[in-house]
Structure 1
Amino acid sequence: MKDKRVLFVSSEVVPYLPENDISTLSFEVPKMINSTGGQTRIFMPRFGNINERRHQLHEVIRLSGLNLVVNDLDMPLIIKVASIPKERMQVYFIDNEDYFKRKAMYSDEDGQLFEDNDERAIFFAKGVIETVKKLNWAPDIIHINGWMASLLPLYLKNYYGNEPLFKNSKIVTSVYQNNFEGELDKDLDKKIMFDGIDEDKVELIDTPNYNNLIKLSIKYSDGIVIGSDHISDELKTFVESIDIPKLDFHALEEFAQPYQEFYIKDILNEEIE
């Protein structure tokens, strides 16, 4: 992976949130890339259950201060950053008091999904892209992990379709086990169309459930990684129907070489040195 730039956009990352398939791979894969001479940037939401003092998060003033429009509302974007101890890996946190200050990630204490999860996902996708533009850091690969990041491919290919920084970027979506039941706000498609994105681009999320959000991410991707040992039959069938490169599930103790080969050969269409 020497000199390759990989942008990880993840719902969850260790050590800031508990270990699961998404959070663990969103740490281990960037670590592997760095160790093989590549460069990474990791983005995640600044959920309210992340301990800022313990993890030494601090605001990056030069990157903050932009307002993002979500469904006709101006929402201030705050960027925070932290370094993962001993790994020389920086993590950027997308923050906004209205969307992320609450003490839980996706649902309230009764287990009900937050009503604005759809707008949080829009804000996260636009916030990542706008921040990477400010950093002027052109990624070779953008790797999507988790449903909160699932709208980024749609926005990148449509709303930001003429942005030269991402002209050569390839998108990979990892598919994991379902991690929420139910549906997001039924007007998610209309909120996306408010940004000038055509109705036919969002038809997959007429029903905005977990499977359809991941399908939407895959639709605008250049490759698929199976990140969990088991995924739903519906997603498995959809993945098999899409004619783009795919990497099967690999356990942590054996993922490094298959991921490197997949990135280089299948996604970037280059020879491995």
Structure 2
Amino acid sequence: MSIDLRNAVAVVTGAGSGIGRAAAHAFARRGARVVVTDLVDERAQTVADEVGERAVPAACDVTSLDDLEAVRKLALDRFGRIDLVMNNVGILAVGPVEDIPLEAWQRVVDVNLLGVVRSNLVFLPHLLEQGSGHIVNTASTAGLLPYGFDRLPYTATKHAVVGLSEALALYLRPRGIGVSCLCPAGVATNIVEQIAFYGKPAPPRGPNFPVMDADSVGELVAEGVTHDHFLILTAPEAAEELREHGADVDAYLSRLTKDAP
């Protein structure tokens, strides 16, 4: 199910900065043509200009089916096909769970989870008809492990994206379509712009994973797609945490509780 990125066509949401921008560059360096989308049109244009003639920009709000359908039309009109879709948009609501209002939960779910659902509705029929392609969903190590209670709406949606991605892999791989789930730990990006804060910040609890630069993450994504890897981690240490968590969830939660400040 690995795809050859040479002359492939990639659609990347949230590509105006951070991991999305880095992935767009990494795909293009391997020969892909890239549709660079972002909520902010100017950011999409800037990254497309950086990539060069192999890229085209598009403004896209992942809470809008119409926007995603317009991106699909642009990709097909300009490049004739779509081979890779990277669902990368994410926002956070941070604070004690009792202080985060329902509307904040609804906004995070609408963007982080339903944004992926809308993308599937728009792009999957094309990939299925084509019989080939690849999907990358950006989740988080907070979607693999239980430490993100200080950003619980984000954590809940990223756990959902991990589960959705695993199930999609079972469904799509027999149909010729690969699925990868990117679970970054600390990454130096401007995601702070997408954080809403509520109440007194709760101290985070959990593993202290190293911070990676976005360009290195972009390379990991491109390599993961090329080699059809499902789980793409930016911190290898997360694999050991996953093993400990899977071996005995009660013991793992007890350790984190005992380690609380």
For the superposition of Structure 1 and Structure 2, which TM-score range results when normalised by the shorter chain?
0.3 to 0.5
Q: TM-score, normalised by structure 2?
A: 0.40
Write 1 or 2 for the structure with the bigger share of helix. Answer: 2
Q: TM-score, normalised by structure 1?
A: 0.39
Structure with more contact order per residue of length (Cα contacts < 8 Å, sep ≥ 6)? 2
